[in-house]
Chain A
Amino acid sequence: MTPDAIRESVRRVLHSIAPEADLDSVGPGTDFRAELDLDSMDFLRFITGLHAELGVEVPEADYRKLGTLDGCVSYIAAHAPAATTP
């Protein structure tokens, strides 16, 4: 998966959790939990959404690595299961 495709998936999942948020205002290195006012329930839904969409299972200890868009992209690039599409 390309970084751009990952970034798009991450944005899609974030949008499903905070539909009213303006994702364009979130910089690549911005802590979006604070920026979008996500609580721990929202963040858990985000992690669950990433798992559903990309198959990446994030242990709790790694949550802090997924607090920014850039963090998400590099983490998922390193941990996503190999693509099964032909």
Chain B
Amino acid sequence: MRQAIAASMARSKREIPHYYLGASIDMGPSLSWLREQNLSRPVAARLLPIALQLKAVALALRETPELNGFWVDGAFRPGSGTHVGVAISLRRGGLVAPAIHDVDKLSLGDVMQALSDVTVRARESRLRSSELSDPTITVTALGERGVETVFGVIHPPQVAMVGFGTTLDRPWAIDGMLGVRPVVMASLSADHRVSDGHRGARFLAALGDLLQHPETL
């Protein structure tokens, strides 16, 4: 496991000219909407914020398809769908990032179900090898561990990695007034051979907008 990660990450840092962008996103609307939803959902169907974040990533990629796919033989090959890899840490060490397929087309409940399913199977070493090679982009959410910002290393041959830190209450200026909002730092690491910071910024802006309108996810 360690050697596989070492080989992949060394290749990434050797071959991929990364650029990195970060944006603070107000999670207030998403979290209030989620709290409301979860009041009426049975325990087994409750949603976590990560489900909204994954779906928002998948929808934002429609704006910037050049972040979704692979770099193969010196050229970009767009993904055949939006298959989002989710970084899952394993308790005995190491991590895997299996794909949740066609996240842009799933309901939030289905995203949550799929996430729960791959998490359990990852921890029990029951993932199919295709699930590990299918992702067209990867999301890492180190927020659980109190990390505020994560700039990921792209998993080759993918061309982008999205990171979410911990959502923390922060001072936030709205219309000239200072308030306190739950804020998450979203980051994008992307392959400069395929996209530029301008496009990457557009992706993060779309991601932030989507999370202000959770009812549309």
A residues engaging B (CB < 8 A)?
18, 20-21, 37, 39-41, 44-45, 47-48, 51, 57-60
Q: Are A18 and B48 in contact (CB under 8 A)?
A: no
**Per-position binary interface string of chain B over residues 75-94, scored 1 when its CB falls under 8 Å from any chain A CB and 0 otherwise:** 00000000000000001100
B177 at interface, CB cutoff 8 A:
no
Residues of chain B within 8 A (CB-CB) of A59 are 39
Q: Is the CB of B115 within 8 A of A18?
A: no
| Cβ-defined partner of B115 (8 Å) among A20, A41, A47, A57 | A41
For the complex formed, measure the closest distance between the CB of B90 and the CB atoms of chain A, giving whole angstroms: 10
**Least distance between B83 CB and chain A CB atoms (Å):** 19
Contact of B43 among A18, A21, A41, A51 (CB under 8 A): A51
Does A60 contact B38, Cβ atoms closer than 8 Å? Answer: yes
Contact at B91–A37, with CB atoms within 8 Å? yes
Of A18, A37, A39, A60, which contacts B35 at CB under 8 A?
A: A60
Q: A20-B92, A41-B115, A45-B116 are in contact. Are A58 and B43 (CB under 8 A)?
A: yes
Q: Note all chain B residues with C-beta closer than 8 A to A39.
A: 144
Interface contact A41-B91, CB-CB below 8 Å? no
